[in-house]
Amino acid sequence: MYPPPFRYHRAGSLKEAVALLAELGEEAKVLAGGQSLIPLMKLRLASPAHLVDLNFAPGLSYIRPENGEIRFGAMTRHAEIEYSEVVARIPILHDCASGIADVQVRSRGTLGGSLAEADPSGDWTPVLLTLETEVICVGPQGERSVPLAEFVTDAFTTVLAPTELVREVKVKLPPAKSGGAYVAFKRSAPVYATASAAVQLTLVDGDVCAQAAIALGGVGLTAIKAAEAEAALRGQRISAKTVEAAAEAAMRAADPQPDMRGSVAYKRVLIGALVRRAIDAAARRCRREQVEVSHQYA
């Protein structure tokens, strides 16, 4: 199906994009990779009167290590993250980028677009919630830095004003002896996950967990930070018993909706299994074992 008519504006710079959004107001939408927006327009679930294309604005696509952080330009594609040697320092980011849909979607879709879309089943938000992540937003009033935990406020909703856009995403490098893993369960490659688990750990003194961050995807209106599951690991030795306690706490934290992907009970059991697998892979990565993590398929 064709989308309703709209006017196309090619921004030649970030400054021009901000000026266009200020001029066009709520009738305008930013076009990044178009992998969510264009299908929604074709289905007539979105009908912006104006599209402001960021694809020709220079300086918005980069992966830069700087001052203990990795900085990502908003227009950085999933595929660029997948193949980045800089990103290899945070393996959970590679797990995420390499598992998103298929090559076509990964080659066009962007990190900034994914966060701005705030799809409850999106992969980036749970993963980045397990790291210290800041979203740099820019609008007519200038820039502001928003912690990711405050950026997404509801399903498909963020703190962005209609005149603001995401310019950069900053991720702090985890401390030494850290490891993370992201495992999603999918019915097939080019669909969103039924559920997913992101786990980032720091282990000291022979497997004692100094820090734990656990986030769940696809089982709530937004990604869920599973605080009780994190507490079940923190200060404890990683063992079958502590892993089980964390998995059970994650199942309690999940708030899934029944849909074509499965019932509430099914998704709860699934999230427990994904958390167990992600903890195992994260702990092994803390011990510097080479662990390949890939999504689980039905």
Ligand X SMILES: Cc1cc2nc3c(=O)[nH]c(=O)nc-3n(C[C@H](O)[C@H](O)[C@H](O)COP(=O)(O)OP(=O)(O)OC[C@H]3O[C@@H](n4cnc5c(N)ncnc54)[C@H](O)[C@@H]3O)c2cc1C
Residues at the site binding ligand X, with contacts judged by CB under 6 A: 29-37, 39, 74, 100-101, 105, 109-110, 112-114, 116-117, 119, 122-124, 160, 165-166, 190, 192
Min. distance of Cβ 33 from ligand X in angstroms?
Answer: 3
Q: Which residue is nearest to ligand X (CB)?
A: 109
Place of tokens 């995403």: 169
Under 8 Å between Cβ of 129 and 215: yes
Pick the closer one to ligand X by CB: 7 or 287: 7
Min. distance of Cβ 120 from ligand X in angstroms?
Answer: 10
Token pair of 238 as six digits: 């990683």
Cite the DSSP H helix spans in 52-123: 78-82, 91-99, 103-108, 111-117
Pick the closer one to ligand X by CB: 166 or 253: 166
Token pair of 11 as six digits: 């921004």
Min. distance of Cβ 233 from ligand X in angstroms?
Answer: 26
Pick the closer one to ligand X by CB: 104 or 239: 104
The amino acid at 225 = K
Under 8 Å between Cβ of 24 and 50: yes
Token pair of 33 as six digits: 């990779």
Pick the closer one to ligand X by CB: 123 or 132: 123
| Cβ-based neighbours of 81, under 8 Å, separated by 6 or more | 63, 72, 87, 93, 94, 96, 97, 111
What phi-psi label fits residue 20: left (phi over 0), alpha (psi between -120 and 50 degrees) or beta? alpha
DSSP conformation class of 88 = G
Min. distance of Cβ 112 from ligand X in angstroms?
Answer: 3
Min. distance of Cβ 143 from ligand X in angstroms?
Answer: 13
Cite the DSSP H helix spans in 152-263: 227-233, 240-253
Pick the closer one to ligand X by CB: 70 or 193: 193
Pick the closer one to ligand X by CB: 79 or 243: 79
Min. distance of Cβ 276 from ligand X in angstroms?
Answer: 22
